[in-house]
Amino acid sequence: MENQESKIEPRSIEDIKKEANNLVYELSNEKSNTENAVEDLITKIDDAFEDAQKQTESGVSELNTKRIDLENTVKSKIDLASDSVKKSIDILKHTYNWVRADYRKSLAVTLSAFIFIEFVYVVPNFPWVEYEVYGFPILKIIIVVLGFLVVCFAYNVLRGINETFLVSFENLEKMTEHLHKTESTIEEINFSQQKFNDTRPFLKSVRGILEILISSAGKSVPFIRQTFDELTLLAKFGEKVQNFELALNYYGLLKDAVFFARLSESAPSRAHIINDEKVWQDYILENIIDMLNKHGTNLSKDIILLLYREHNGLDTGNIFRTMKMKDEDLNCLAKVLIDSKNLVEPPFNVVYRTEDMVPVLKKVDHFNLSEINNLLSTSLRQLDYINSYNEFLVKNGIEPNFKPSIEFIINEFQDKNDDFESQIISLVYIIGKRVFSKMPSLDENFAEGFARASISIKFHNEMSFKKYACEISADERAAAVITAYYEKSKEIDRRDAVSLKELLNDLDLVKSSYDKRDDVEFKFLISQLREGNWFDSSNAYLKAFIDTTKNEIKDQISKIEKFTIFQEVVKKTFQKVRIGTVEKAIDAQVFGAYIIMFSSKVMKLAPLVDMLSIRNLEATKPEDRWYHKSHITIKAIEKNYGVQPNYDFMKFSDSTRIGVLDKGNTFLDFKNSFMRDLKLILSKSKIEEKSGIGLVIQRITPSKYSFGILDYEELVDIKDLNVANYIAHLAIDHVSEEEQASVIRLDKDVDLFEIANIKSIYELIKIEKDDITGIERKILESPDLKEKILEKLGTNLKSLALDLGSGIRSKNEITQIIKGILENSFASHLNSRQKARERADILSKRYSDVIEQFVLLYKIQ
């Protein structure tokens, strides 16, 4: 957020003196108040000391009383403990003497028994060895010696125990004597009066010191005031110098700490007495500009001030608006920004130029680094997408001869309120139009078309851009390029994507697509592009067209199911569509189609293949082959060969069959199933030799060359051999009425009213379980009646449906005209005269209903 720099008004010396005198007066009052407060404080401290002295003396007296009681208690407890210890020692001595005497007796008896046993039993009876010493056996001598040693050892042990106990008793007696002599007295607690008395001189000295300080402070106010003012102004000046230094350092200018230190210390003389920041600012700017000039940098005062204000958060609006009108200053400022490295970092393939930065500076309202970087960030993102479009053109064999830049983006950037994606599409459209307009092979219209189409071809895969890219391609010229793009992609054996260069080299294809701009599927493609929808192929948008059309007429068809004429018109018209329309239906996956070709040298393979068709291919007459096999024939095939006729194909020639698949069936599943059934038939046939049999099943693929026809449609009748009629006739049983009507819309040369125009009134209005009598039917089938009605209405069925649908005529008007003609016709016959009015009323309404439903036929047309 930018703030306005506050401006301090300069003040005179008289004003400053007046303020100082007021301060001295106030300080004197404060001095008197402080002296009174100190006096009160010392008095309170004296009183507090006296109270403390009295409380201390009382506490010491109580402690001495408790000391005497404690001393007596301790002394009695020690005497009692000493007597108890002495008695315990006497008892212990008596017990020890008794135990020692008893132990001696036991030891004497034990040793006597040991000596007796040794000399009486052990020595005489021990098996001696033959060695002797002085006539005595050596072992006996050893035993006697050992016995003597044992006696000595026992005596020595007894003696050691006795000495240990004696030493212990002596120590106990010494401890008892020490306990008796223990001092049980506690020293008396004394109170020193002198320490309290010594504090009063100290308090007096403190009081004197405070009075001196207060007096000195009052006398020094004028001097302090003068020094403070001078130091404050100089500090403000130094702070402003520092702010300039920080700003210039941030932008990489004049990084000279010594210079700024000297500048802050060399304030102009006026800065000591006048608080005017404008004076300081001009002085600082002059010194900075002089130093920059010495370093070879020439910048205006406005640029330095602008950088200072921006870095310190001050408003830059006025000075920046003025600078925008100075190209030289803008160029210098742009160079400073680029060199400062404070701009958002560009990608590796982009280098900031002065030409880029000047438009950016002109675009922003305030000189704000954050705002500038935001605009640069957006421009860099846009530049990335624009470069990708350039790369797309190069990959498509087109050299743009144009390098996008930030300068281009900013200059062409018109509406900043547009979405980012919309801005990108607008910018690449400008580039595309420049590039394609320079191609001599393109006139202005097709240059426009290629520019728009190239955008949708490039950006349709990017979800955020898809809508805008398709919308800009919702143009007849662009749609012509896109449809040519689709057609090229359908070429057999194509592996690579279609390039724009290929389309430029085949402008006849593009112009041919443009000539079909009145076709319903062409208009549908434009409407879908306008809604932001893209199709990867013509198959996809044809499928979408048929699905959309089917849904539009589905409800309307359900209302006219009782009129068989509508179903008949659609069905018979569907069989008349051109081969190109059939191909589009296959492309749109309305149904699938295939061809079976076979040959055999040793057997007739055709009858075995035809067993698998649901059609009655064994019939002699070609028209009868369209009927389905009878129930008896199907049962016989199942019994003899174990297969069912489940496939719908028709005999096209002796060795060729053409068939169709339901929408839900895949060609691979059909092929595997057909071959499995055919092998089962061959295995059960009576012909043993099966070699030399060849059979191929080929799917009719979505391709311009599916039927092997030439590009020129005038040759189709020669080349296709009524393939379209065969496929359409077969497909009737696999395609719903609304899908048939949708496919018919793709064929602009088919007239839905051609069949209706040759129908009689009876054929137009008949329904299932009709109540029309024989005489009424005869009248209604009359060609004269039909001519009278149309003559009275003054038009044909197609025009009548158009008039009714557009509101030129009403249904009631048509009904009344038809009613009058029917009534007259019925009245002219004896057998229908009686109910002429009643029947004319009923049947005229039915005829009007049929005309009303023909409005749908017109819409399909």
Amino acid, res. 370: S
State yes or no: pLDDT of 619 exceeds 80. Answer: yes
Smallest CA-to-CA distance from 259 within 269, 271, 249 is with 249
Average pLDDT, stretch 139-156?
69
- Of 724 and 658, the structure prediction assigns the larger pLDDT to 658
Contacts 24+ apart (CB under 8 A), 727-730: 727/582, 727/586, 727/593, 727/658, 727/660, 727/700, 728/574, 728/575, 728/576, 728/577, 728/582, 729/575, 729/626, 729/650, 730/648, 730/649, 730/650, 730/658, 730/659, 730/660
Residue type, 283: Y
Residue 642 per-residue DSSP state: S
For residue range 47-87, list pLDDT tens digits in order: 776 776 677 777 667 777 776 777 677 677 667 666 766 77
User: DSSP label at 589?
Assistant: T
**Above 80 in pLDDT, residue 708?**
no
CA distance 820 to 631: 50
Cα-based distances in Å from 325 to 338, 781, 785: 20, 90, 88
DSSP 670-709: HHHHHHHHHHHHHHHSS----TTEEEEEEE--SSTTTT--
Give residue limits of the domains in the chain: 13-180, 232-337, 566-736, 755-860
Q: Considering the entire predicted model, what is its pTM?
A: 0.64
Q: Which residue has the higher pLDDT, 457 or 300?
A: 457
DSSP 616-638: -TT-SSGGGGGSBPPHHHHHHHH
DSSP reduced 3-state for 596? strand
Quick check: 170 pLDDT over 80? no
Q: Helix (H) and strand (E) counts for the chain?
A: 36, 6
Q: Is the pLDDT of residue 468 over 90?
A: yes
| Per-residue CA distances from 608 to 308, 322, 604, 621, 683 (Å) | 98, 96, 8, 19, 11
The pLDDT > 70 percentage for the chain reads 72
Q: What is the pLDDT of residue 568?
A: 81
Q: Which residue has the higher pLDDT, 571 or 603?
A: 571
Return the half-sphere exposure (C-beta side, CA atoms, 13 A cut-off) of residue 533. 12
State how far the Cα of 484 lies from the Cα of 486, in Å rounded to an integer. 5
Instruction: Give the pLDDT confidence of 171-187 residue by residue, as tens digits.
Output: 666 666 665 665 555 55
Q: Which residues neighbour 394 within 8 Å (Cβ) at sequence distance 6 or greater? A: 400
- pLDDT tens per residue, range 486-500: 999 887 677 888 999
In degrees, rounded to 5, the angle at the alpha carbon of residue 187 between the alpha carbons of residues 185 and 188 is 125
The confidence score (pLDDT) of residue 665 equals 85
- pLDDT digit string (tens) for 574-602? 888 888 888 888 888 889 999 999 987 76
Residues 746-752, mean pLDDT to the nearest whole number: 81
Interval 784-796 mean pLDDT: 87
What is the model's pLDDT at position 419? 86
Given a cut of 60, is residue 230 above it in pLDDT? no
Tokens for 702, please give them.
């979505």
